[in-house]
A = this chain, B = another copy of it.
Amino acid sequence: MQNSFTEENYLKIIHALSGRDGGEVSTNALAESTATRAASVTDMLRKLAEKGLINYKKYQGVTLTELGEKVAIKVIRKHRLWEVFLVEKLGFGWDEVHDIAEELEHIPSEILVEKLDAFLGHPRFDPHGDPIPDAKGNLMEPDYGVLTDVQLGEKVRMMGVLDHAPSFLQHLDRSGLTLGSLIEVKEINEYDRSASVQIDGGPTLFISLEVSKNVLVQRR
Residues of A within 8 A of B (CB): 86, 89-92, 99-100, 103-104, 107-109, 112, 115-116, 119
Residue of B nearest to A96 (CB): B111
- Contacting pair A115 B92 (CB below 8 A): yes
- Contacting pair A107 B115 (CB below 8 A): no
- Contacting pair A116 B90 (CB below 8 A): yes
Instruction: List the B side residues contacting A100 at CB < 8 Å.
Output: 107, 109, 112
Separation in Å of the A128 CB from the closest CB of chain B? 18
Instruction: List the B side residues contacting A119 at CB < 8 Å.
Output: 89-91
Instruction: List the B side residues contacting A103 at CB < 8 Å.
Output: 107-109
- Contacting pair B112 A90 (CB below 8 A): yes
Instruction: List the B side residues contacting A116 at CB < 8 Å.
Output: 90
Instruction: List the B side residues contacting A86 at CB < 8 Å.
Output: 112
Instruction: List the B side residues contacting A90 at CB < 8 Å.
Output: 112, 115-116, 119
A115 to B91, CA, bound (A): 8
Instruction: List the B side residues contacting A107 at CB < 8 Å.
Output: 100, 103-104, 107
